[in-house]
Amino acid sequence: MGIDHALPTSHNFAEDIPVEVLSFEEAVKYMRSRLPLSAREYYELDDKMRYRAFAVSRLADADAVAQVKKYLQKSLDEGGTLDDFRKFTNEELLDATGLGQTAGWYWETVYRTNVQTAYNVGRAIGFDSAHPIALELIGVNDLRQTEFCRSVTDPPFRRPYGDTVWETMWPPFHFNCRTTVRGIYDQEEIDGEGGPDRFYTIAGQDAPEPGWGSNPLDGSDWWEMTPAMKKRAKKAKIDKEIKKAREVLVEQPKKLEYRESRTIAEANKFARNDLGLTGSSYSGCHVEAANEWNRSLVKNLNQFPEVQGLRYVGSFADAKKKYTAARTETLLEKLKADYPGFSEETLRKSAKKMARKAAEQTYVSSAHGLMYYGDIDEIKGIALNDRLASNPEWHRMLRKREVNNRYKVIGGDSIGAIADHEFGHVLDNWLDISDNSDVQRIFSKLKADDGVELLSGYGTSNIHEMIAESWAEWRNNPVPRETATSVAEIILRRYAEWKKQNS
């Protein structure tokens, strides 16, 4: 909310429509147009907000216990007994310590301070996206306003947006602070008060108390615990618990770094050792194609480091070989049980023949790539058609023709885009994207309208291909279209939900 409120007010009638009256897709599109954040930046911000909320809530728990212990000690010091203490009702005890519903000054302090912090962080982000001419501090002029807040809001403190004073003059300025910042975008407002000399506050304003007033974008650590909070956490012996939450929610795992391979052997080694996809092999592919896939996987795995089920990447030739070997053994056991009178050698030949046929039917020669999530663990993942990828120039020409014919998405003419498409299937399988009601509505709209124009011919074949094609376009089209963007944002939102559920 703080981000949206920071942006300049629009006088465009279309933007004045309340979000509540819009459909889901329209509301998402509206908010996305208003937010100066990429989807990935938004969810990273969400993680920091959640870490801050967790730290604050655990400290509140510890403070509540400390307050009750303090009240018990006070009661005993004044001649009371433990039995006297036990006679208090829960609400009487909570009220006496500032934690109850009728005297909940402690909770009000926690709530107001942290909500206002989050709100003013949002305003800072909004101003950073759409720079105003100047900023002005706005306060609530009543009996609760502190002397400092009154001094900077009556008359209002105003300085140019880029003034360094805002590095140390950003609300909140104290516990329960209600002061906020207003952006001034209209030069006429400044001119109407006599120009800059009369409009702006003279420098030399008193600074807020130590520990307050830091601009949240200066060092980007607004979400961290303050030294005082860390001290309280250590005293309450919950510092390790909060540290663990920080590691899970905020600290990013070590980023994978792409490295160009000169040979297929090097590309295989990179996939196995660097990407952690054991048993991978691009046998039969040109090293250029293998490099494009490894590069794509680095980007996707850096964005989804917890992805589940992706164990393998390789060529159709390698995958079919491993598929045949594994399926032969399972079929052989079945044939032994069904035909006990035949020799194992005879039955093995039949099992291998059946397994080869099944492998060919799985890894069809017309497909550019494939995601396998069957019962053979060593090839669970994605594979590239080596018959096509053995000649990268010809393969790219074929892809470009399919894009021009609108059978594939815009941006889908590279070999790396095939990996992105298959990774889209991985995300769908992992996060149950195709079960999402909003994705199902998007697919229904795609089928009802001109889906080829909105996405691609292949994307209209079924909902799973729509998801994979959308991810490929979102990854490779510099200006992804509405369908691809909507599906990609649902994937990112679902991933954020998954992290919340598993943190």
pLDDT level of residue 172 (50, 70, 90 thresholds):
confident
Tens-place pLDDT, residues 323-339: 999 999 999 999 999 99
Omega before residue 172 within 30° of 0, cis = yes
- Find the range with the poorest average confidence among 22-26, 190-194, 262-266, 422-426: 22-26
pTM: 0.59
Characterize the bridge pairing of strands 369-372 and 158-160. Answer: unpaired
Structure tokens at 289: 């194609």
Domain boundaries along the sequence of the chain: 264-388, 391-502
Indicate if the pLDDT at residue 57 is higher than 90: no
**142 or 244, which is more confident:** 142
pLDDT level of residue 502 (50, 70, 90 thresholds):
confident
> In this predicted structure, what is the pLDDT of residue 212?
76
The alpha carbon of residue 446 and the mean position of all alpha carbons in its chain are separated, in whole angstroms, by 26
Contact 125, 217 (CB under 8 A): yes
Query: Can you tell me which residue has the tokens 């194609």?
Result: 289
Backbone angles phi, psi at 176, to 5 degrees: 65, 15
- Average pLDDT (250-266) is 86
Spell out the residues 6+ positions from residue 356 whose beta carbon is closer than 8 angstroms to its own: 320, 324
Selection from 227, 229, 298, 309 nearest residue 261 by Cα: 298
Distance CA(18)–CA(334), nearest Å, equals 64
Amino acid occupying residue 339 = Y
> In this predicted structure, what is the pLDDT of residue 271?
96
Structure tokens at 286: 């040109």
Spell out the residues 6+ positions from residue 468 whose beta carbon is closer than 8 angstroms to its own: 421, 422, 424, 425, 428, 459
pLDDT above 90 as % of the chain: 48
- Average pLDDT (279-298) is 97
**502 or 94, which is more confident:** 502
- Find the range with the poorest average confidence among 76-80, 279-283, 419-423: 76-80
Tens-place pLDDT, residues 424-438: 999 999 999 999 999
> In this predicted structure, what is the pLDDT of residue 179?
87
Query: Can you tell me which residue has the tokens 């989804």?
Result: 304
The CA-atom distances, in angstroms, between 416 and each of 275, 300, 305 are 16, 11, 19
Contact 399, 369 (CB under 8 A): no
> In this predicted structure, what is the pLDDT of residue 59?
60
Indicate if the pLDDT at residue 112 is higher than 80: no
Distance CA(470)–CA(464), nearest Å, equals 10
Contact 316, 387 (CB under 8 A): yes
> In this predicted structure, what is the pLDDT of residue 204?
59
> In this predicted structure, what is the pLDDT of residue 107?
43
Indicate if the pLDDT at residue 317 is higher than 90: yes
**3 or 73, which is more confident:** 73
Amino acid occupying residue 379 = I
- Find the range with the poorest average confidence among 42-46, 232-236, 468-472, 473-477: 42-46
Can you tell me whether residue 315 is helix, strand or coil?
A: strand
- Average pLDDT (181-203) is 87
pLDDT level of residue 241 (50, 70, 90 thresholds):
confident
pLDDT above 70 as % of the chain: 71
pLDDT level of residue 202 (50, 70, 90 thresholds):
confident
> In this predicted structure, what is the pLDDT of residue 3?
43
> In this predicted structure, what is the pLDDT of residue 232?
76
- Average pLDDT (280-307) is 96
Distance CA(298)–CA(109), nearest Å, equals 45
Task: Look up residue 281 and give its DSSP letter.
Answer: B
Distance CA(467)–CA(434), nearest Å, equals 8
Structure tokens at 200: 């702006």
252-263 burial by CB neighbour count: b if 16+ within 10 A, else e?
A: eeeebebeebee
Q: Dihedral angle at the C-alpha atoms of 280, 282, 288, 293, nearest 10 degrees?
A: -40
Tens-place pLDDT, residues 134-150: 999 999 888 889 999 99
> In this predicted structure, what is the pLDDT of residue 123?
72
> In this predicted structure, what is the pLDDT of residue 286?
98
> In this predicted structure, what is the pLDDT of residue 23?
47
Tens-place pLDDT, residues 7-43: 454 333 333 444 344 444 444 444 444 444 455 555 5
Backbone angles phi, psi at 137, to 5 degrees: -85, 135
**276 or 109, which is more confident:** 276
Structure tokens at 198: 């009369």
**107 or 221, which is more confident:** 221
Distance CA(426)–CA(495), nearest Å, equals 12
Contact 53, 500 (CB under 8 A): no
Mean pLDDT of the chain: 81
Indicate if the pLDDT at residue 211 is higher than 70: no
Distance CA(471)–CA(22), nearest Å, equals 25
